[in-house]
Amino acid sequence: MDADDRLPLAYFISFRCYGTWLHGDERGSTDRHHNVYGTPFIPSNKRWRQHNERLLRQPPVSLDAARRTAVETAIRETCEKRRWLLMALNARTNHVHSVVSAACKPEPVLNALKANATRQMREMKCWTSDLSPWSYGGSRRYLWTERSVELAVDYVLHGQGDDLPDFDV
């Protein structure tokens, strides 16, 4: 088997809600030209952030309790149907983290999770826009060792802060 054909034990897949982390943000950002592991983020720039805010096609998206439930339901069902092993999942108010083992490259996993999460939110009537609730792309980290899988699972389950209260009930 060619080294390029090897698959990792799992992927750490993350994706953000639309409009919640723009270029120029005080947290820094990455783009396709500044996206090498371990290199610094693009520095913050107030004018660039304001410019990007004006370009938004819809308001920034956040996940309330109903949307988080829809997202998590869709991701669990997607993994079950495709026979991917879902090791960890955490839908937050502005992003989603998962650790998934799949016998394919990570891009189809990321795309399926986002598409089915959107479909489920629409079915549950908690997303009515024709536009996507997600930012373009997402993070796909390869987890090659049992230790890296263990650390990613722990981060997803325990490194995201407190449990989110359900104020929407």
Tell whether 129 is covered by a domain: yes
In a domain, 131, yes or no: yes
**Selected residue with higher pLDDT from 13 and 6:** 13
Total-model pTM: 0.83
Environment class of 152 (CB within 10 Å of its CB; exposed 0-12, middle 13-18, buried 19+): buried
Residue-wise pLDDT for 126-154, tens only, equals 999 999 999 998 999 999 999 999 999 99
- Determine phi and psi for 95, rounding to 5 degrees: -165, 170
More confident residue, 25 or 61: 61
What whole-number distance in Å separates Cα of residue 6 and Cα of residue 61? 36
The predicted-structure confidence for 87-137, as pLDDT tens digits, reads as follows: 999 999 999 999 999 999 999 999 999 999 999 999 999 999 999 999 998
- CATH number for the domain that contains residue 91: 3.30.70.1290
Which residues span the domain enclosing 103? Answer: 3-19+56-158
Residue 98 lies in a domain: yes
pLDDT the model gives residue 1: 46
